[in-house]
Amino acid sequence: MSFMDLVFCRDFISDTDVINKLCHFIRGIESYWVAQFLLDQVLDNSKSMKSHKLYNSYKEYGVSESYFRKLCYNAFTCGPKKQLRMWRAAYNALQLIENDESIATVAWNNGYASSSHFPTEIKTLFGITPREFKNLEGFLNE
């Protein structure tokens, strides 16, 4: 049953099965929107660092902090902070491989204030250092 069928169904109000299907459909879309919203938070370089904070994210999304966390757990099986951390690290790893920029430049461009925090974060999440990611560049281009 499509979304339009659910919306225009004559027995919509009285049929709880139809209402349950509609709610399930909307919840599925909500996961998509949460993912898109969080990815925009990570990839939008025009935003100031203040707007990247999780505290501001739930406000911008338009729900309470606890409900935003619940939406994230439903979509990713982890909280928004952990998901943002993983996406940010993956994005940085791709930049290390694809760009000719130094490790320090990639770290600085992505908001890492400490030169030691960036390699620690990458090593913790992926098991290899940023330098090893840079070395993959030549291997992957061959």
**Residues 1-26 pLDDT 10s:** 555 555 555 555 566 777 788 777 77
Contact 110, 90 (CB under 8 A): no
What is residue 36's predicted lDDT score, i.e. its pLDDT?
85
pTM of the predicted structure, to 2 decimals? 0.66
Of 17-26, 51-60, 91-100, least confident by mean pLDDT is 51-60
DSSP state of 1: -
Q: Name which residue leads in pLDDT, 21 or 48.
A: 21
| Residue 128 to residue 132: CA distance in whole angstroms | 6
- Residue 47 burial (CB count, 10 A): 14
Q: Quick check: 18 and 12 in contact, CB under 8 A?
A: yes
pLDDT number for residue 67:
92
The Cα–Cα gap between 70 and 79 comes to 8
Just give the CATH number of 80-142. 1.10.10.60
In the predicted model, what is the mean pLDDT of residues 78-101?
89
